[in-house]
Structure 1
Amino acid sequence: MTAEFAVALPAVLLLLALLLAGSAAGVTQLRLEEAARAGARALARGDDAGAVDVIVRRLAGNAAASAVASDGEWLSVTVSDRVPGAVGSLVPWTLSARAWVRGESAGPSAAATVPWTGGHQMQGLTG
Structure 2
Amino acid sequence: MPSSEGGGDRGSVTAEAATVLPVLALFTMALVWALMATAAHIQCVDAARAGARAVARSEPRAQAVAAARSAAPDGARVAVDRTGDLWRVRVEAPSPGPGPLRLTLRAEAAALAEDTVGVTP
TM-score exceeds 0.5: yes
Q: For the Cα contact (< 8 Å) 2:86–2:110, is it kept in 1?
A: yes
Structure with greater Cα Rg: 2
Tell me the equivalent position of 1:102.
112
Instruction: Report the Cα offset of residue 104 of structure 1.
Output: 1.9
What's the counterpart of residue 64 of structure 1?
76
Q: Which amino acid letter does the alignment assign opposite residue 26 of structure 1?
A: T
Unmatched 5+ stretches in structure 2 = 1-12
Distance verdict in 2 for CA 1:62–1:12, change over 3 Å: closer
- Any unmatched runs of 5+ in structure 1? 110-127
Runs of 4+ aligned residues of structure 1 deviating over 4 Å after TM superposition are none
CA distance, structure 2, for counterparts of residue 92 and residue 61 of structure 1: 14
Query: Where do 1:47-126 residues align within 5 Å?
Result: 47-86=59-98, 89-108=99-118
Taking structure 2 as the reference length, the TM-score comes to 0.80
1:63 is paired with a residue of what secondary structure? coil
Q: Which TM-score applies when normalising by structure 1?
A: 0.76
- Match in the other structure for 1:112: none
CA-atom RMSD, angstroms?
A: 1.6
Whether the aligned pair in 1 keeps the contact of 2:41 and 2:106 (CA below 8 Å) is yes
Distance 1:61 1:49 in 2: 19
Q: Is the 8 A contact 2:44 2:73 kept in 1?
A: no
Where 1:80 maps in the other structure, the secondary structure is strand
Q: How far 1:61 sits from its partner (Å)?
A: 3.2
How much has 1:63 moved relative to structure 2?
Answer: 1.1
